[in-house]
Amino acid sequence: MVNKIQKKVKKCIKKTCLNKIINRHQQEADVLKKLFFIRFLYNGKTVDEAVKLMEIALSTGHRWLDEWNEGGYENLYPKYKNGGHKAKLTEEQFKKLDEIMINESFLNTRKIHEIIKKEFNIDYSMSRIPKIVKKLGYSYKKGYILYSKMP
């Protein structure tokens, strides 16, 4: 690249220490990939060369380098936390639903849906009910027909 200033990697730890950290993170693929990228930079590669070797976008490489330069390898960990929506039912409501389900017999998704709607005034979709049943520790299976002539 002509007349383009390349960013330099800030060597906050020794190369041997970086290799030890990489060995410790074999199971953490997200961090491991970023550490390999940083090792390429430690070995004298430019960001453009390291990006091509890692087969990632140039903007991703610069972002990883910025994260490294700002906070070292601790800053390379993913920033996401426990995602997703909060449950509509509280823990107390789950316990109450569990007690209701123990006392009922021959439950199916439709009946459980009606119980939740009647008792807690919460309208879940029918596809969500099996997940709630599994969360309560029950196994969910489709019913089968019992014929009168079966042994």
pLDDT of residue 139: 76
- pLDDT attached to residue 30: 79
Give which of 137, 121, 134 is closest to 89, Cα–Cα: 121
Q: For the chain, which residues make up each domain, given as ranges?
A: 15-76, 91-135
- In this predicted structure, the answer to whether residue 6 has a pLDDT above a threshold of 70 is yes
| Six-digit token string for 44 | 């004298």
Give the predicted TM-score (pTM) of the model. Answer: 0.45
Asked whether the beta carbons of 44 and 76 are under 8 A apart, the reply is: no
Alpha carbon distance 38, 86 (integer Å): 37
Residue burial 27-56, b: 16+ Cβ < 10 Å; e: rest? eeeebbebbebbbbbbeebbbeebbeebeb
130-140 pLDDT, tens digit per residue, is 888 888 888 76
pLDDT in tens, 10-60: 888 888 888 888 877 765 777 888 999 999 999 999 999 999 998 899 999
Give the total residue count for the chain. 151
CA dist., res. 42 & res. 16, Å (int): 11
d(CA 89, CA 109): 16
pLDDT tens, residue by residue, 57-107: 999 999 999 999 998 888 888 776 666 677 788 889 989 999 998 888 778
Structure tokens at 131: 């997940």
